[in-house]
Amino acid sequence: MEKYYGWGLPADISTHGAAIDRLIYVLHGFMAVLFVGWLIFLVITLVRFRARPGHQAVYQSNHFKAPTYLEVGVGLFEAFLLVGFSFPIFHQYRNVPPPRDQAMEVRIVAEQFAWNIHYPGDDGIFGKTDIHLISPANPVGLDRSDPAAKDDITTVNQLHTPVHKPVIAHLSSKDVIHSFFLPVMRVKQDMIPGQTVDTWFEAKKMGNFEIACAQLCGLGHYRMRGFFIVETEDKFKEWINQMR
Amino acid sequence: MEHATPEAIKRHVKVYISVFVALAFLTVVTVIVSYLKLSLVYAIIVALSIATIKGSLVAAYFMHLISEKKIIFWVLVLTLVFFLALLITPALTGLEIRSYVS
Amino acid sequence: MSSLIRYISRPHPITGVTNAKLGTWCFLASEVMLFGALFSAYILLRTGASSWPRGSELLSVPLATFNTLVLITSSVTMVMAWASLMMKDLSKYKRYMGFTILLALTFLVVKGFEYGHKFEHHHFPSTSTFYAIYFTLTGLHGLHVLGGVIVNTYFLLPGSKLWETEPEQFTGRIECAGLYWHFVDLVWIFLFPVLYLL
Amino acid sequence: MTGEHNLPFWRKYIFSIDHKVIGIQYAITGLLFLLFGFFLMMMMRWQLAYPGQPLPWIGHLFSEKAMLGGVMLPEFYNQLGAMHGTIMVFLGVVPLAVGGFGNYFVPLQIGAPDMAFPKLNMVSYWVYFIGGVIMIVSFFVPQGAAQSGWTSYAPLAVIAPTGQTLWLLGMVCLITSSLLGSINFITTIVQLRADGLSFFRLPFFVWAQFVTSFLLLLAFPPLEAAGVLQLMDRLAGTSFFMPSGLVVSGKVVEVSGGGNPVLWQHLFWFLAHPEVYVLILPAMGIVCEIIACNTRKPIYGYKGMVYSVIFIGFMSFIVWAHHMFLTGMGTKMSAFFQITTMIISIPSVVILTALVLSLWGGSIRFTVPMLFATAFLPMFGIGGLTGLPLGLTASDIHLHDTYYVIGHFHYVVAPGTLLALFAGIYHWFPKVTGRKMSDFLGKIHFWLSFLLMNGVFMPMFIQGLAGVSRRLWDPMQYAHAQPTQPLNVFISICAWLLGLAQIPFILNFFWSLIWGKKTDQNPWQATTLEWSAPSPPPHGNFEHVPVVYRGPYEYSIPGQRNDFWPQAMKEGN
């Protein structure tokens, strides 16, 4: 079995995650170079100018040009990071959803301390929901009298998606703020009660992964683990039919 | 307001009275306008403009800002900048939250 | 002890203000941010709301107009109290200060009637977001008025003894109390249209 | 000078209006709270290292509602987490850095006899004290203290048990205290500087405190407002932060609705980001003083540093939403906040560079305070650099709310600010007590603390990159967190050893108080005004009203007999 997790970034199975990872690597390379270079300078300075008999401090220090260049350089590099990486990546992540006709849509409704996954079924339309219908057997409050709800499927903590297919997830919360986090997908989005926010992703590998909650949501925050299973289209359909 | 002679103070008193009259007048105006049933946008513009004028009168004359020292202005300008940032930014970010659910 | 500290009664030669005046303005700056945050909350909640009532449909505009005039008048009497001290007339000061306090109390009594009326009709902060923000903003403003009443009463009665020993310092204190009082008035000038008229 | 010595004990030491006594009160209370907050963390580290195992000995001291059979319950873990953050930030570091150091040394460094409003100063300490008491009492109410994180995000905090109400009341006290304090500082620094002490002759420490005071003055009120709104939500049933249609534990919540949870975050972070600079700026100020004194040369680019610190203060008000990138914020607003976040990093780089370049050409005495101050530089560097991936939305997607964040801000405030605060204690102890602290114990304290702090916080970056979320009672629940579990054990051991490493400091503190070597009024041969006053300074501070003739860091002037030229000394020496 492939090793997904370790010390450092988890494996990335998303189509968009490589860009994020690249930014993280570039950033850490930049930070390492800057810090190590600077640390060497610091150590040399500390040794060279230590107090010792016969050594005197100099009153008028020269005006150094190098630090100014360094500061300007850091500023320019940060501008480059913004324009070259962060803006385009985040724009893609936030503003460019996959076409709805090619994507699978799913609603994810978080609660203390579980993920309710709502699939629209074959018609692709989510049935109406009503908070007054919520019960242990019907965690999202699906209105079964709505024709669109007939083929809808809800699961708890089981998010299955087909591989190589874009998924649009409509995220909301029933009670407090949760944060939908798929470590291997480089997806994280707060779920604010009273609002629906969308996120999307496409898996390029199959496997059993997990959903984590990234925002403190109460005493069960630590165990708000969901299962994120990426499988072939056929297996996915089979699973859906099973769930019916 | 300089530490002035009794005569100067007496002049100030006259200013205070006229400011008071202006404030009372503007209060009545803003209430009358509110009965005109303007559309919300115009109502907001008119009411807040009048309130700003009234507020400025109070600040300028009763609080003596019109002749206040520079140091006070610096404190207030700084405050005003952050005040405005605080006032509008949350609402702006709120408008940007998006969902594609129909 | 405190005589070691400079610029208590006389202004600093460079900044041109006394310690108390600068301190008061700093305090008012923080108050601006306090009310700024509440107004910001108001804007965010209102722009995000699906519907929002016009204040005049739920609240009594005549009472609030009356209260606005009361507060404006109290601002004038307050500044007159200070002007009286500048003209070295303590008894006139006391008269104006007394008026200011009476007007502030009038404001609070009217406010109390308004609240009582709302409670009678079972309108509470929990009724709707409009009432929530109405009660919070006016309640906090009311507390500020109450604070002003306490401060002004102190300066009317025991605090005025300072006039005999340090008239300049006392006048400065009244100016600062006045700044606070005008600020409370100023907040109301904005609260009135925002809550009652729009 | 005056009748101070005739005052009864309780007026002289308890309800004192002398800025020095108040400063000491703040510092001692702050240090005790730091220790207390650290204890909370050391208990949490047991649960993180050995999840679900009973905490030896200590676990049985607690009630069954906190530690069931010695095993920490998740509720209690959340309480410890929330209160650790609150106590460290609001009751520990700020009171020590601003209340303690600021109160004691700002008037001394500007040549003032006291703060501008001594009684207000006393009130602000006691309001802070009441706030602290409320926070501690909150542990003993039914269902314990606040448990929704130090950020108290709504709606979780709104539906939380009673402890949260006390947290809010405590915060209102702490905020009020800071507001009163900041008014006092601003007025004091503007009005009471000694003759000749122009703004550009102020020690950098005073500048840092000055900017800090503005941050406190203007950033804290919005949190006070937010606290009032959350209190209304909890007590009066309003729904400022409660949207319509909430269903908690299967039951529809009966509130009017229409609120917005993100509103809390805006108001909270409008304070809490400037608050980060409230934590760090005084530390920079202390470090600057110590570096100037121990390199025996003027600070490099003093004016540049002053402009930078003002600029940081200004910018810190318009970066707050970078804590909220993942709340659903769009690209326009997030672009704005990313840009401001990148801009604010530049003046920090300028200050850090100036401090390092100040070492160049010096004659560096490695005294204990200097060791701490030197260590501050790379530690703050790491803290600052690791802020970059969090300030860019794209990398923040993965790193948001992971241990990476914890590592980042702890590097800023623990090995950063705390080392600087220790430096300050060692540096100014002779001024406050007239005695020096032990070098030997000080060096032990320094090396152990320095190494162990890195042992605690460095592995957190690895955990964060692995995606381990914050505030997990049991990290072993997640497959992606399990491989990093050995790091948790390592971190915990380092944390406990770090606790032990504070014993030399505590011993040193009390030992030196009584038996430390007596010093004259200027043992470090420093230039700033506080060293022209007797040690400890009497009531009123100075024997003669000081007059300032030059800038703050006139060291090693060629042709002078001594290598330092105090600000208040008229003639050459």
Q: Which residues contact D423 (CB under 8 A, 6 or more apart)?
A: D286, D287, D290, D369, D370, D371, D372, D373, D376
| Residue C4 is assigned to a structural domain of this protein | no
Query: How do strand D67-68 and strand D71-72 relate by DSSP bridges?
Result: antiparallel
To the nearest whole number, what is the mean pLDDT of chain C?
A: 94
CA distance A232 to A241: 14
User: How much is the average pLDDT of C94-119?
Assistant: 97
Instruction: Point out the residue among C75, C83, C198 whose CB comes nearest to the CB of B9.
Output: C83
D185 in any annotated domain: yes
Alpha-carbon gap: C45 to the closest alpha carbon of chain D (Å): 6
Structure confidence by residue, pLDDT tens digits, A167-223: 999 999 999 999 999 999 999 999 999 989 999 999 999 999 999 999 999 999 999
Q: Which residues in chain B (41-100) have CB-CB distances under 8 A to chain A?
A: 97-100
Residues 134-193 of A with CB under 8 A from B: 168, 170
* Residue that the structure tokens 């790193």 belong to: D399
* Tens-place pLDDT, residues D158-197: 999 999 999 999 999 999 999 999 999 999 999 999 999 9
What type of residue sits at position D368? V
- Say if residue D115's pLDDT is above 90: yes
ipTM topping 0.90? yes
pLDDT bin (cut points 50, 70, 90) of residue D1 is: very low
> Residue D2: its pLDDT value, please?
46
* Residue B101, pLDDT above cutoff 50: no
Cβ-based contacts of A170 with chain B (< 8 Å): 99-101
| A168 contacts in chain B (CB < 8 Å) | 100
Does some domain include residue C26? no
Share of chain A above pLDDT 90, in %: 80
Query: Does residue C85 form part of some domain?
Result: yes
Give residue C131's domain range.
Answer: 59-197
Q: Is the pLDDT of residue D198 over 90?
A: yes
> Domain map of chain A by residue range?
17-95, 104-243
Candidates B16, B21, B39: best to mutate against C (most CBs of C within 10 A) is: B16
Q: With a cut of 70, say whether residue C3 has pLDDT above it.
A: no
Distance between CA atoms of residues B61 and B11, nearest Å:
12
The answer on pLDDT for D251 being more than 60 is: yes
DSSP class of B38: -
CA distance D41 to D530: 36
- CA separation for the pair A169, D106 (Å, rounded): 55
- Rounded Cα gap, residues D417 and D287, in angstroms: 10
User: For chain D, how many structural domains are there in total?
Assistant: 1
Read off the pLDDT of each residue in D472-500 and give the average, rounded to a whole number: 96
Longest dimension (CA), chain C: 61
C53 inside domain: no
> In the 8-state DSSP scheme, what is residue C62?
H
Structural domain contains residue D560: no
What region, left, alpha or beta, does residue A14 occupy, with left being phi > 0 and alpha being psi -120 to 50 degrees? beta
pLDDT category, B1, cuts 50, 70, 90? very low
Question: In this structure, is residue C1 part of a structural domain?
Answer: no
Say if D467 is an interface residue toward chain A (CB within 8 Å).
yes
Minimum Cα–Cα distance from D7: chain C residue: C1
Minimal Cα distance from C29: which residue of B? Answer: B79
Output b/e per residue, A154-164; b: 16+ Cβ within 10 A. Answer: bbebbbbbbbe
Look up the CATH number of the domain holding residue D99: 1.20.210.10
C28 touches chain D (CB under 8 A): no
State whether B90 and D332 contact (CB < 8 Å): no
Q: Do C23 and D116 touch (CB under 8 A)?
A: yes
Q: What is the pLDDT of residue D4?
A: 54
Contacts of A42 in chain D (CB under 8 A): 356, 359, 377-378
| Nearest beta carbon to residue D260 from set C44, C50, C135 | C44
Rounded Cα–Cα distance for residues D229 and D236 (Å) = 10
Closest residue on chain A to D401 (Cα): A214
What's the length of chain A?
244
Dist. CA D306–CA D318, nearest whole Å: 20
Contact D331 A95 (CB under 8 A): yes
Question: What does the pLDDT look like over B76-87, one tens digit per residue?
Answer: 999 999 999 999
* Closest residue to A134, CB basis, from D250, D388, D484: D250
Question: Is C47 within 8 Å of B75 when comparing Cβ atoms?
Answer: no
Cβ separation of C47 and B54 shorter than 8 Å? Answer: no
d(CA D324, CA D337): 10
Residue D552 within a domain: no
**Does the residue C92 lie in any domain?**
yes
Give residue D411's domain range. 12-241+259-532
- CB-CB under 8 Å, D462 with A7: yes
- Domains in chain C: how many in total? 1
Beta-carbon contacts of D193 under 8 Å, excluding residues fewer than 6 positions away, are D110, D111, D112, D202
Residue type at position A60 = Q
Cross-chain Cβ contact B93/D333 below 8 Å: yes
Residues from chain D contacting residue C135 (CB–CB below 8 Å): 236, 238
Q: Which A residues in the span 95-114 are in contact with B, Cβ-Cβ below 8 Å?
A: 97, 100
B78–D318: do the CB atoms touch at under 8 Å?
no
CB neighbour list of residue A48: distance below 8 Å, 6 or more residues apart:
none
| Residue C102 domain flag | yes
Percent of chain D with pLDDT over 90: 89
- A161: β partners: A230
Nearest to B93 among D186, D190, D321 (CB): D321
Query: C49 lies in a domain?
Result: no
CATH code of the domain occupying A104-243: 2.60.40.420
Contact D256 C26 (CB under 8 A): no
**Of D287, D361, D454, whose CA–CA distance to A44 is shortest?**
D361
Could you tell me how many CB contacts below 8 A there are between chain B and chain C? 133
D contact chains, 3+ CB pairs < 8 A: A, B, C
- Distance from C-alpha of D255 to C-alpha of C46, rounded to nearest angstrom: 17
- CB contacts of D241 in chain B (<8 Å) are none
* DSSP single-letter state for residue A14: B
pLDDT in tens, D269-311: 999 999 999 999 999 999 999 999 999 999 999 999 999 999 9
User: Mind listing the pLDDT tens digit for each residue in D124-166?
Assistant: 999 999 999 999 999 999 999 999 999 999 999 999 999 999 9
D5 has a pLDDT exceeding 70: no
Per the CB < 8 Å rule, is D333 touching B92? yes
Write out chain A residues lying below 8 Å of B100, CB-based: 97, 100, 168, 170, 198
Could you say which DSSP state residue D12 is in? I
Residues of chain B with C-beta less than 8 angstroms from the C-beta of A100: 100
CB contact under 8 A, B97 and D260: no
- Among B6, B9, B90, beta carbon nearest to C40: B90
- Residue A168 has its nearest CB partner, among B97, B98, B100, at B100
CATH of residue C132's domain is 1.20.120.80
Record: contact B89-D260, CB cut-off 8 A: no
CB A209 within 8 A of CB A228: yes
